[in-house]
Chain A
């Protein structure tokens, strides 16, 4: 099972690339017939990724969410899953190239970090860890998607302003739609990440006896979340224009990802606290 899971882990980035290439062809408008074939491809990729997660769960006999590999893999999986729902419900495939490329980065990152050493931190033995981890990752996914929608908003806004009405303009959705999706994703991300963070604090309190761990990782994530909340409410209150909201969403997520990645690499594990 371990070998099977490992092979699948290394294969998945290539499969992601194959699907992205497919969306690239659609983006270029090479062959209209391809448009009707994306859904089965997404479903197959999603199933294969799910098999990888399950096989890893069977192999390590634990919830596959504790390591860097698992976290990024689950993040890619959840981006793929959310995108599939969006594509099916909105019938728009123009953003596929962007969103799947984004998922691919996380999947690639995950494949380079396969680890079979389980963490022994007591926090991870707590059954509510799975809730904390999965909700937090879903929160990151929503914030990531928000940043992507914001990026697409900026591109499409620029296309219409500068009259660049080529392939990119044709494939991207309407700016109002992109703005709305970005805002909704931020809101969902804030709520989910908030629940995840709060759950993490409660776990820490139960297992380690302290609600506020004086740790750089916790401080960074909590701070970013608070910035997101404040930014979101100010934007609503001040009726920020779309372009400002887009930059807020992009930089917020970059800060979260860069901060999170630095923290992971500077410390032994995300779940070792000092």
Chain B
């Protein structure tokens, strides 16, 4: 296979559906689970003229990357096959699908792994999912040197974007915003106890995020004790009735409230007394209820930090804006790596051309020596061999030197490659 003979310099193609083009229902429908991915990679590799194939499939995107001589020729066929495979028509709907080739596909892959193209810009989960997609194909031995190198470069892009920009910094989920704030109050949550007031879905989710961050103990207070016991039981915690609230408030560090009560569950007066008894040791209150469970006046009490749903939403919005600001810096890093990848690809092509050219010229040389060997004295044949070999090496080197000069200009590079192939009648495969 002669990769350098393709039209777009880097012989890479991609077909995808993502949150940018399709609704969640469609994305769900086209998503490929692990088994489907394995099957698809195997079939695409066998059935179509591709050298390497890998898939990125998450709830927000399904993308198939192929490496082959002419991806523009193969992608339409793969689109038809994918629709047959998933029993849909989406892969052939131009409104939903995007195709990219060469450097555009490389750039897109780099942007995907670093979270720049994610629904929530800067999310970090995607890099793990991209890695899984690559490893799955790699373990099946269905990635070629181009895809291997692409992944290798992509990992470096991800690392630099995370180290050199604030794109992935700051939480963008309300629950995590609460956890992050708690860390700014208590530093470590390991020896801290949490009280959850209410046992509904919201309370449960918030409790889950805090307990995931190694909090020492959970206490659950609820009007219906049974529900409190169920939630507390999931984390080996303790359950209480609502009447025990003042006692528990004295010993906990974080309080999450998410009840459907029409009145304040935690009043300013109650909290004043509690703060006094706690010697104003810090306590972090999160009011996730609508209408509110906690009297806003509580905020004025020394040592008490009260945040409600709107406050946490504001933090998330602020962090998202900060991430948007970091996008240009991240694009710059991606562009740098795309150029590096182009160089690598050009060098890789050069090595392949050099090998073919040398082989072709060697064949010509050996043919000529064979034809004329009777005209030379026997003891001079060795010198002639050495001399002609040296001339060939110099010719090859001269071509490579000239190719290197054009490596940064894909069009001129390609013209030069074509010239060499035509001039020396090199075999394309």
Q: Which residues of A line the B interface, CB within 8 A?
A: 29, 31-33, 36, 156, 160-161, 163, 165, 169-170, 173-177, 239-243
Across the two chains, which residue of chain A brings its CB closest to B165? A32
13 new A-B contacts at CB < 8 Å, known A160-B181, A241-B302: A29-B166, A32-B163, A32-B165, A32-B166, A36-B163, A156-B184, A160-B185, A160-B305, A161-B305, A176-B187, A241-B303, A242-B280, A243-B280
Residue of B nearest to A180 (CB): B187
> Chain A's interface: helix, strand, loop or mixed, by majority?
helix
> Residue B205 at the A interface, CB < 8 A?
no
A192, chain B: closest CB distance, angstroms: 26
Q: Does B315 contact A (CB under 8 A)?
A: yes
Query: CB distance A175 to B282 under 8 Å?
Result: yes
B299 contacts chain A at the CB level, 8 A cutoff = yes
How far does the alpha carbon of A149 sit from the alpha carbon of B311 in the complex, in Å?
27
Known A160-B184, A243-B302: A176·B282 in contact at CB below 8 Å: yes
Collect the chain B residues with CB atoms within 8 Å of residue A243's CB: 280, 302-303
Interface pair A241/B280, CB less than 8 Å apart: yes
The 26 listed contacts between A and B (C-beta, < 8 Å) are: A29-B166, A32-B164, A32-B165, A33-B163, A161-B299, A161-B305, A163-B307, A163-B311, A163-B314, A165-B318, A169-B184, A173-B187, A174-B183, A174-B185, A174-B187, A175-B185, A176-B185, A176-B282, A239-B279, A241-B281, A241-B302, A241-B303, A242-B282, A242-B303, A243-B302, A243-B303
Residues of A within 8 Å of B163, CB to CB, are: 32-33, 36
Question: How far apart are the CA atoms of A241 and B275 in the complex, in Å?
Answer: 10
Name A172's closest neighbour in chain B (CB-CB).
B184
**Most B C-beta atoms less than 10 A away, residue of A36, A173, A242:** A242
State the B residues within 8 Å of A (CB).
163-166, 170, 181, 183-187, 279-282, 299, 302-303, 305, 307, 311, 314-315, 318
The 10 nearest A-B residue pairs measured at CB:
A241-B280, A174-B187, A239-B279, A177-B187, A176-B187, A33-B164, A176-B186, A32-B164, A174-B184, A160-B305
CB distance from B297 to the nearest CB of A (A): 13
Residue of B170, B185, B307, B311 with most chain A CB atoms under a 10 A cut-off: B185
- A242 and B311 CA atoms in complex are apart in Å by 24
Q: State A31–B160 Cα separation when bound (angstroms).
A: 12
Cβ of B303: which chain A residues have Cβ within 8 Å of it? 241-243
Q: Please give the distance in Å from B332's CB to the nearest CB on chain A.
A: 12
List, in ascending order, chain A residues with CB within 8 A of B305's CB. Answer: 160-161
Q: What's the Cα separation between A175 and B305 when bound, in Å?
A: 12
* C-alpha spacing A9/B183, complex, angstroms: 42
Q: Which A residues are CB-close (under 8 A) to B183?
A: 174
Chain B residues whose CB sits within 8 angstroms of the CB of A165 once the complex forms:
315, 318
CA distance A243 to B314 in the complex (A): 27
Q: Is the CB of B279 within 8 A of A241?
A: yes
Of chain A, the residue at the smallest CB distance from B305 is A160
B311 contact set on A, CB distance < 8 A: 163
Q: Which residues from chain A contact B165 at a C-beta distance below 8 Å?
A: 32
- A164 CB to closest chain B CB (Å) equals 11
Residue of A nearest to B318 (CB): A165
Chain A residue with Cβ nearest B253 = A176
Instruction: List, in ascending order, chain B residues with CB within 8 A of A36's CB.
Output: 163
CA distance A161 to B304 in the complex (A): 8
